Structure 1
Amino acid sequence: MPLTEALRDKIQGLITADSVVLFMKGTRFRPACGFSAGVVEVLDSLVPGWTSVDVLADAELREGIKEFSAWPTIPQLYVRGEFVGGADIVREMHASGELATLLGAVGVKPPQVQVSARAAGCSARSRRRRAPARPSACASARASSTTWRSRAASPATSRSSSRASRCCSIA
């Protein structure tokens, strides 16, 4: 279906109505797909006010927005009238901090990965038990690799798997 001039004007009007506009399946408060829900979560963490447009309510709009942006999937994010991207791009930009900068979110830092004390303790215990020749690898990682290779050759379980279960077992 070709993009009519009326539909193009409607989409342009929606995009310029707010500085942050998300064309999505469902609404901001009731996303209808996981990708849309993921972008909603990211936007809610960065900016208090933004507009969602439910493409499921209008089949012509759903197809038209794809042609308008030359992007085949929904959701689609627009910031200050410019197309940013879909769910994967938004997720990557959020992880790098680039989205917060684009949105002008003040005091927002990119997400940080934290290692639990239990996981950190696993590495410390592993290092104490083994020879100092391999200080960077966890014994369980080496054991898993060895176990997998030995199981591929024979169904017998190797001794290394018992070391791995002592080191990193999850209760």
Structure 2
Amino acid sequence: MSEQDVQDWIGKQVAASDVVLFMKGTKDMPQCGFSMQVAQILNHLGVDFKDINVLDDMSVREGVKTYSNWPTVPQLYVKGEFVGGCDIVREMFQAGELQEMLNTKGVTNNAQTQTA
């Protein structure tokens, strides 16, 4: 795939699902601690999310960094908007901001689960 094809594919994935996590590994078998933390937060909140394993395709692994202008993986997208990586997602979760964002954007989650 050309670089533009990769960018187009990433854009389609982000647009096709309410919540998309580009991660190392899968939600059932994360391959790095940072990806595992974000997946655990989303699972804890009861959020249904699409996981994309960047280890399956080096062009996607590098392409998502270009797409978001963010240098690391995991990367979380909610309703097409780039949220951030592990540290940002964890901080937002602990402050209740992630849950607020999900609610504001109409993403189904467990509203009772407010913080860690």
Contact (CA 8 Å) 2:3, 2:59: kept in 1 or not?
A: no
Aligned-residue Cα RMSD (Å) equals 1.2
What stretches of structure 1 of length at least 5 have no aligned partner? 112-171
4+ residue segments displaced more than 6 Å: none
Distance of 2:14 and 2:44 partners within structure 1? 21
Once the two structures are aligned, what percentage of the paired residues are identical? 47
In structure 2, the residue matched to 1:158 is none
Amino acid at match of 2:115: P
**Displacement after TM superposition at 1:101 (Å):** 1.1
Larger relative contact order, structure 1 or 2 (CA cutoff 8 Å, min sep 6) = 2
Distance of 2:37 and 2:3 partners within structure 1? 31
Distance of 2:74 and 2:9 partners within structure 1? 18
**Displacement after TM superposition at 1:77 (Å):** 0.2
In structure 2, the residue matched to 1:66 is 65
Distance of 1:31 and 1:63 partners within structure 2? 18
Contact (CA 8 Å) 1:47, 1:103: kept in 2 or not?
A: no
Structure 1, residues 119-165: CA drift from partner, whole Å, max 9, x if none? xxxxxxxxxxxxxxxxxxxxxxxxxxxxxxxxxxxxxxxxxxxxxxx
In structure 2, the residue matched to 1:109 is 114
What stretches of structure 2 of length at least 5 have no aligned partner? 104-108
In structure 1, the residue matched to 2:21 is 22
> How many corresponding residue pairs?
109
Rg: which structure is higher? 1
